[in-house]
Amino acid sequence: MINLLRFLRVELHPEYKHLKEFLTSMPLRFHNNEGKVIYKGRNELRVFEYQGQEYVVKSFKKPILINRIVYGILRPTKAKRSYNNALELLHIGICTPQPIGYVNVRNGLFLNESYLVTLKSLCPYTWNDLFNKKFSCEEQVARATGRLTAQLHNHQLAHKDYGRGNILFSFESENNVHLELVDLNRMHRGPIDLVHGCKNLERLPATPQMHRWIAEEYAQARGFDVEKCYELIRAYRSTQSGKIDGKY
């Protein structure tokens, strides 16, 4: 039986209008267990190949009942926020996998499903990989992260889930490191001072030396004192881990 109250909303990046059929088919594809699952937790990530290109699709967990109404009619869904935030980051020169579009599925006034579609990142590593094996580019990744964080904060933006799995990186050499940010549905907007800027790094594991590299680049880019940045970053991290982060 056809559900006349079911409403599907699709928004596509202007350069990817030809993928409307692919995005529209996403609820059915997930229902049929298509695609390769690369992460399954609160949300689910799958890789799809379509017309010779790989895409990552994030299926957001169905919200609790009251939030199904809130996201259904009052607030942007997590998929829509993620899409818009990705466009904003690209606009200010911060890399993230190219957003293709999003899909919201409503039953009446209730949000039922939501999906974000991006190009698959070419970055093979996450920040967490720095703790599993040795990289010759470790210092460069840490320094680039300090600069990227400062760039975000100088634009009055802060990633609210700035953790080990949400910074991706690749490198061709120690002097050619590339970073990308993912999981963008929660972003803080507003002025970010020294204290709040350093606190934003508290969920990112790092050794004292890695924190030193981050602090040097962050402080230089924002006109802060290096030692004060380093002390604050270390102090806030200690409240999360309770110990010095170990490696390998």
- At residue 179, the pLDDT reads 98
Question: In this structure, are 143 and 207 located in the same domain?
Answer: yes
Question: In this structure, are 79 and 167 located in the same domain?
Answer: no
Residues of the chain with pLDDT under 50: 1-2, 4
- At residue 242, the pLDDT reads 57
Question: In this structure, are 149 and 228 located in the same domain?
Answer: yes
Q: Measuring CA to CA, how many Å separate 202 from each of 19, 127, 206? A: 39, 14, 10
Question: In this structure, are 35 and 20 located in the same domain?
Answer: yes
Question: In this structure, are 91 and 175 located in the same domain?
Answer: no
- The CATH number given to whatever domain includes residue 230 is 1.10.510
Question: In this structure, are 46 and 67 located in the same domain?
Answer: yes
When divided into structural domains, the chain yields a total of 2
* Count of positions (residues) in the chain: 248
Is 204 a domain residue? yes
Question: In this structure, are 106 and 169 located in the same domain?
Answer: no
Nearest alpha-carbon partner for 186 in 168, 200, 204: 200
How far apart (Å, rounded) are the C-alpha atoms in residues 108 and 173? Answer: 53
Cβ atoms of 183 and 165 within 8 Å: the answer is yes
Q: What is the pTM of this model?
A: 0.92
* CA atoms within 13 A of residue 187's CA, in its CB half-sphere: 27
Nearest alpha-carbon partner for 37 in 58, 15, 18, 16: 58
Question: Of the candidates 100, 119, 138, which is a domain's last residue?
Answer: 119
Residues spanned by the domain of 165: 125-241
Question: Of the candidates 119, 148, 176, which is a domain's last residue?
Answer: 119
- At residue 64, the pLDDT reads 57
CB count within 10 Å of CB 24 equals: 13
- 3-class DSSP string for the chain: CCCCCEEEEEEECHHHHHHHHHHHCHHHHHHCCCCEEEEECCCEEEEEEECCEEEEEEECCCCCHHHHHHHHHHCCCHHHHHHHHHHHHHHCCCCCCCEEEEEEEEECCEEEEEEEEEECCCCCEEHHHHHCCCCCCHHHHHHHHHHHHHHHHHCCEEECCCCCCCEEEEEEECCEEEEEECCCCCEEECCCCHHHHHHCCCCCCCCHHHHHHHHHHHHHHHCCCHHHHHHHHHHHHHHHHCCCCCCC
